[in-house]
């Protein structure tokens, strides 16, 4: 009878938690189903109709507070400070963060702690006030295992900020009485943090932690095998990884039929879905060297970078002589059918080799589009291993989902450049790849908007980074598919780009059938001045290894060629 009661209570609790969790989960991760991995949600915005309970109260500025620039301390209606919600760590550092919402249900804790120890992974356990008091032994075992602890804040619907803060502080005192000496974080028990939660965090000087990816949707609660759970959570896409700086959240007490599956699941995720080590939250948050503000504010962006792309740069200039100077072509883009809008006389004046002439033996590795953490991190490691610098022509429409990765490329000393926002073509392929059509005037205007947007996105992530005294964000441009037209190129140069660079050899690495064949084609086309066009996308599966092989071979031959960024020669 007693067992049945307990079982019924447990099932009820799990069901309630499941429903709440499900609601929260899908609210935060509407894209998970089709994207194969959680797509980051925008930072939660304060509700416009909700105001602070006590706006007159003078507020101390805590380190986590977002100061309101217009705030006048003398004004009675001064805004109340609200802490930022940390959904990921904005950093170029390699690392992910594991967090748990503690629950005593199922007796999972010892298995979870054992798993974390086995994979040498620190974590943050968020605990509710009542559990802190009632399950002291569990909390002490978390502390002894060296993990960080946070407090789960109540729903704020009935509580005022003052009362909520008192409760959090009370909980912190209790936690300290157990011997916990590290930073205490806060998180909301359910749902997105509200203004009240943000005020409480700010007043108390707590960092308010949310998460990017909840890897515990309610629909996995009946599963018992990590592989089954992974296939639900990550869908069918097996090549997706957790993002750099990502905060991952696990809910304890969710699994109904096993108290060890959570522990197994964590180990599987870290082994199979992260190319990064697990790190301590406070150490990643406090790594000032690799941390940054996202989006960067105007005053943080280098003056020569800030808003450098806007229309009007060709006003009063001879268009054709500017294009002649600023277009580096490609050998296959060589005749009128490929260059709509240009006359035959003009085509003769255009570059059709795609080389960047120099006397230093420079070769230029270039990578187009955008990619996931595993592809890009692997590529960055290869380049670092050989001391090579490259140019990354970024298609920007997805970088907002993973700005840390873009930041990491620039912080590694590579040049960042635009490849449009939406892969907007500079001319249209009519279908057979032999004849291209020009853009209409209307399309040229759309291209213009796209170019400004693309650069705006780039400058908000890497606009403050300098490499050897030069901005990491360059005014170089690569046309999508390398197809161009006169009006298209004119639009690019009019927007302020200094060079449109196609390249001397297009590897078509996304179609490569083996590492060896890609390596051979790279090797054959490597010479002084060569601009090698490759891709950073997930389907360029042989690219990093082929580049590794190429650079290794060059070192073996003691080649005088040097692999540098295009900004060494073009600025
Ligand atoms: Zn492209």
pLDDT of amino acid 215: 86
Peptide bond into 295 cis (omega under 30): yes
Quote the ligand 1 centre to 368 CA distance (angstroms).
5
Reply yes or no on whether the pLDDT at 401 is more than 70: yes
What's the pLDDT tens digit per position in 522-541? 999 999 999 999 999 999 99
CB contact at 8 A, 97 and 242: no
pLDDT of amino acid 132: 96
Q: Any idea what DSSP says for residue 566?
A: G
Quote the ligand 1 centre to 395 CA distance (angstroms).
7
Quote the ligand 1 centre to 400 CA distance (angstroms).
18
- Which structure tokens are listed for 530? 């060569």
Quote the ligand 1 centre to 480 CA distance (angstroms).
4
Rounded Cα distance, 255 and 224, in Å = 8
Quote the ligand 1 centre to 130 CA distance (angstroms).
54
Percent of the chain predicted with pLDDT > 90:
77
Q: Quick one: which H or E segment has residue 83?
A: strand 82-83
Quote the ligand 1 centre to 62 CA distance (angstroms).
45
Quote the ligand 1 centre to 439 CA distance (angstroms).
18
* Averaged pLDDT, 246-263: 94
In this structure, the strands spanning 470-471 and 466-467 are antiparallel
Quote the ligand 1 centre to 478 CA distance (angstroms).
8
Residue 5 banded pLDDT, cuts 50, 70, 90: low
What's the pLDDT tens digit per position in 304-332? 999 999 999 999 999 999 999 999 999 98
User: Domain residue spans in the chain?
Assistant: 85-285, 299-568
- Which structure tokens are listed for 421? 């926002």
- What is residue 210's three-state secondary structure? coil
Quote the ligand 1 centre to 474 CA distance (angstroms).
17
Owner of token pair 């980074």: 465
Quote the ligand 1 centre to 419 CA distance (angstroms).
7
Residue 284 banded pLDDT, cuts 50, 70, 90: very high
Q: Quick one: which H or E segment has residue 384?
A: helix 373-385
Quote the ligand 1 centre to 293 CA distance (angstroms).
28
Torsions phi, psi for 454 (to 5 deg)? -60, -45
CB contact at 8 A, 426 and 446: no
Q: Among 208, 248, 21, which residue's Cα sits nearest to residue 116?
A: 248
* Averaged pLDDT, 142-155: 95
pLDDT of amino acid 157: 67
Residue 217 banded pLDDT, cuts 50, 70, 90: confident
**Going by C-beta distance under 8 Å and a sequence separation of 6 or more, which residues neighbour residue 376?**
405, 408, 409, 536
Torsions phi, psi for 547 (to 5 deg)? -65, -40
Q: What is the mean pLDDT of the chain?
A: 87
Please give the angle made by the CA atoms of 569, 447 and 329, to the nearest 5 degrees.
Answer: 35
Residues in the chain: 571
Quote the ligand 1 centre to 150 CA distance (angstroms).
44
CB contact at 8 A, 443 and 427: no
* Averaged pLDDT, 389-397: 98
Greater model confidence, 125 or 28: 125
Reply yes or no on whether the pLDDT at 127 is more than 50: yes
At the fourth CATH level, which superfamily is domain 299-568?
A: Glycoside hydrolase/deacetylase (3.20.20.370)
Q: Model-level pTM?
A: 0.85
Q: Which numeric CATH code is attached to 85-285?
A: 3.20.20.370
Greater model confidence, 9 or 213: 213
CB contact at 8 A, 215 and 29: no
Quote the ligand 1 centre to 330 CA distance (angstroms).
14
What's the pLDDT tens digit per position in 85-99? 999 999 999 999 999
Torsions phi, psi for 320 (to 5 deg)? -65, -40
Greater model confidence, 447 or 62: 447
pLDDT of amino acid 445: 98
Quote the ligand 1 centre to 535 CA distance (angstroms).
8
Quote the ligand 1 centre to 371 CA distance (angstroms).
11
Quote the ligand 1 centre to 227 CA distance (angstroms).
35
CB contact at 8 A, 110 and 252: no
Quote the ligand 1 centre to 479 CA distance (angstroms).
7
pLDDT of amino acid 74: 40
Chain centre to alpha carbon of residue 392: 16
Percent of the chain predicted with pLDDT > 70:
85
> Residue-wise over 138-147: b if at least 16 C-beta within 10 A, else e?
bbeebbebeb
Greater model confidence, 180 or 73: 180
Rounded Cα distance, 427 and 330, in Å = 15
Q: 367 — alpha (psi -120 to 50), left (phi > 0) or beta?
A: beta
Rounded Cα distance, 125 and 101, in Å = 6
pLDDT of amino acid 30: 30
Quote the ligand 1 centre to 517 CA distance (angstroms).
21
Quote the ligand 1 centre to 423 CA distance (angstroms).
6
Quote the ligand 1 centre to 343 CA distance (angstroms).
26
Rounded Cα distance, 497 and 454, in Å = 12
Quote the ligand 1 centre to 505 CA distance (angstroms).
14
Quote the ligand 1 centre to 394 CA distance (angstroms).
8
- Which structure tokens are listed for 120? 């040498």
Residue 234 banded pLDDT, cuts 50, 70, 90: confident
Query: Which ranges constitute the DSSP H helices of 71-194?
Result: 109-118, 129-134, 136-144, 161-177
Quote the ligand 1 centre to 328 CA distance (angstroms).
16
Alpha carbon distances (Å) from 562 to 20, 271, 345, 472: 57, 36, 36, 19
Quote the ligand 1 centre to 333 CA distance (angstroms).
16
Span of 41-50, 157-166, 195-204, 549-558 with lowest mean pLDDT: 41-50
Reply yes or no on whether the pLDDT at 36 is more than 50: no
Alpha carbon distances (Å) from 130 to 17, 161, 189, 490: 16, 19, 12, 66
Residue 34 banded pLDDT, cuts 50, 70, 90: very low
Query: DSSP string spanning 387-418?
Result: T--EEEEE-GGGGGG-HHHHHHHHHTT-EEEE
What's the pLDDT tens digit per position in 494-520? 999 999 999 999 999 999 999 999 999
């Amino acid at each position: 009878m007693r067992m049945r009661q307990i079982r019924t209570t447990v099932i009820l609790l799990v069901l309630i938690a499941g429903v709440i969790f499900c609601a929260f989960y899908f609210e935060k991760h509407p894209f998970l189903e089709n994207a194969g991995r959680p797509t980051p949600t925008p930072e939660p915005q304060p509700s416009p109709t909700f105001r602070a309970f006590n706006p007159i109260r003078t507020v101390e500025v805590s380190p986590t507070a977002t100061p309101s620039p217009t705030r006048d301390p003398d004004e009675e209606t001064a805004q109340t400070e609200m802490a930022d919600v940390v959904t990921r760590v904005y950093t170029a550092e390699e690392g992910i963060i594991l967090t748990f919402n503690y629950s005593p249900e199922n007796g999972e804790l010892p298995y979870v702690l054992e798993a974390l120890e086995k994979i040498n992974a620190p974590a943050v356990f968020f605990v509710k006030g009542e559990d802190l008091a009632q399950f002291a032994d569990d909390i002490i075992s978390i502390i002894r295992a060296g993990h960080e602890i946070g407090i789960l804040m109540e729903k704020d619907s009935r509580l005022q900020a003052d009362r909520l803060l008192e409760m959090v502080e009370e909980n912190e005192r209790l936690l300290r009485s157990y011997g916990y000496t590290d930073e205490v974080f806060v998180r909301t028990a359910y749902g997105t943090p509200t203004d009240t939660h943000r005020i409480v965090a700010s007043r108390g000087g707590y960092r308010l932690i949310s998460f990017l990816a909840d890897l515990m949707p309610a629909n996995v609660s009946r599963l018992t095998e990590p592989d089954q759970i992974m296939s639900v959570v990550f869908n069918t896409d097996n090549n997706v990884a957790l993002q750099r700086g990502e905060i991952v959240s696990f809910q304890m007490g969710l699994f109904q039929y096993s108290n060890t599956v959570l522990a197994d699941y964590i180990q599987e995720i870290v082994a199979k879905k992260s190319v990064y080590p697990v790190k301590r939250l406070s150490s990643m948050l406090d790594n000032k060297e690799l941390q940054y503000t996202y989006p960067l504010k105007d005053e943080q962006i280098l003056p020569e970078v800030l808003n450098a792309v806007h229309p009007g740069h060709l006003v009063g200039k001879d268009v054709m002589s500017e294009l002649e100077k600023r277009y580096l072509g490609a050998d296959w883009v060589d005749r009128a059918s490929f260059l709509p809008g240009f006359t035959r006389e003009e085509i003769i004046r255009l570059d059709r080799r795609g080389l960047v002439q120099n006397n230093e033996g420079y070769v230029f590795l270039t990578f187009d589009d955008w990619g996931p953490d595993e592809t890009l991190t692997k590529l960055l490691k290869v380049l670092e291993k050989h001391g090579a610098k490259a140019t990354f022509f970024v298609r920007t429409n997805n970088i907002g989902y993973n700005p840390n990765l873009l930041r990491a490329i620039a912080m590694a000393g590579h040049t960042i450049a635009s490849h449009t926002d939406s892969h907007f073509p500079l001319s249209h392929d009519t279908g057979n790849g032999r004849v291209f059509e020009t853009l209409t005037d209307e399309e040229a205007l759309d291209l213009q908007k796209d170019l400004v947007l693309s650069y705006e996105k780039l400058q908000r992530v890497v606009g403050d980074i300098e490499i050897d005294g030069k901005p990491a964000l360059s005014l170089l441009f690569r046309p999508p598919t390398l197809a161009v037209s006169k009006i298209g190129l004119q639009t690019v140069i009019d927007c302020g780009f200094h060079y449109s660079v196609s390249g001397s050899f297009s590897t078509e690495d996304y179609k490569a059938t083996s590492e060896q064949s890609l390596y051979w084609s790279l090797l054959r086309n490597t010479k002084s001045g060569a601009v090698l066009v490759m891709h950073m996308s997930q389907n360029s599966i042989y690219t990093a290894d082929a580049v590794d092989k190429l650079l290794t071979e060059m070192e073996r031959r003691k080649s005088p060629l040097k692999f540098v960024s295009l900004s060494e020669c073009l600025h």
